[in-house]
Amino acid sequence: MMNRTMAILVAFTVIAAALTGCKSKPKDADVKAAVETAIQGNPAASGTTVTVDKGVATLSGEVATEAAKEELGKAAAAIAGVKSVTNNITVAAPAPVAITMDDPLTAAVKDATKDFPTVAATVSEGVITLKGEIQKANLQKLMMMLQALKPKKVDNTQLVIK
């Protein structure tokens, strides 16, 4: 009876060891593919890359926002087989707002010419161009106001003086 119990116990141990041995860890390549699939649905993920080494997923690339970076990191961490995530994704600097030197000058010229409704003024590359009509008595006042704005030039050749 003892030998039979021992034989059953040995057989059970061998079977248990065999079954445990069949449960292998996921391969890094499979984990990488799963992470890529998981983050692929996120439009922010374009331009990002994934590597997996011994279950450690490393994310690289550039995204527009910190929230997108965090979201991709969480998506990678949720994949079975990922032990940890190294999130090397960088957040792109926001594009600078282009303000040309003409923008503030245009606003100042508009303000300076508001009392002269028959005069149209445009600004291009620092040059103020005047068109329309103006009374001779008002011309000097307008020119002084515009010169005070320090433009490159004031072109009044298209201005009719009455």
28-74 pLDDT per residue, tens: 999 999 999 888 888 888 889 999 999 999 999 998 889 989 999 99
Q: Give dist(CA 118, CA 63) in Å, integer.
A: 51
Nearest by Cα to 44 from 83, 9, 72 = 72
Q: How much helix, strand and coil, in percent to the nearest 5, is found in the chain?
A: 45, 25, 30
Helix axis angle for 66-77 and 28-40, nearest 10°, is 140
The DSSP letter of residue 152 is S
CA count, 13 A, side-chain hemisphere, 92: 12
| pTM tops 0.85, yes or no | no
CA distances from 147 to 53, 106, 153, 158 (A): 68, 13, 8, 17
- For the chain, 162 residues long, the average pLDDT of each consecutive 10-residue run is 49 49 72 89 85 93 90 92 93 72 83 91 91 91 91 91 86
Q: Give dist(CA 76, CA 70) in Å, integer.
A: 10
Helix axis angle for 136-147 and 102-113, nearest 10°, is 150
Q: Give dist(CA 149, CA 105) in Å, integer.
A: 7
Residue with tokens 């100042």: 108
Compute CA 34 distance to the chain's CA centroid, rounded to the nearest angstrom.
25
Q: Would you state the pLDDT for residue 11?
A: 44
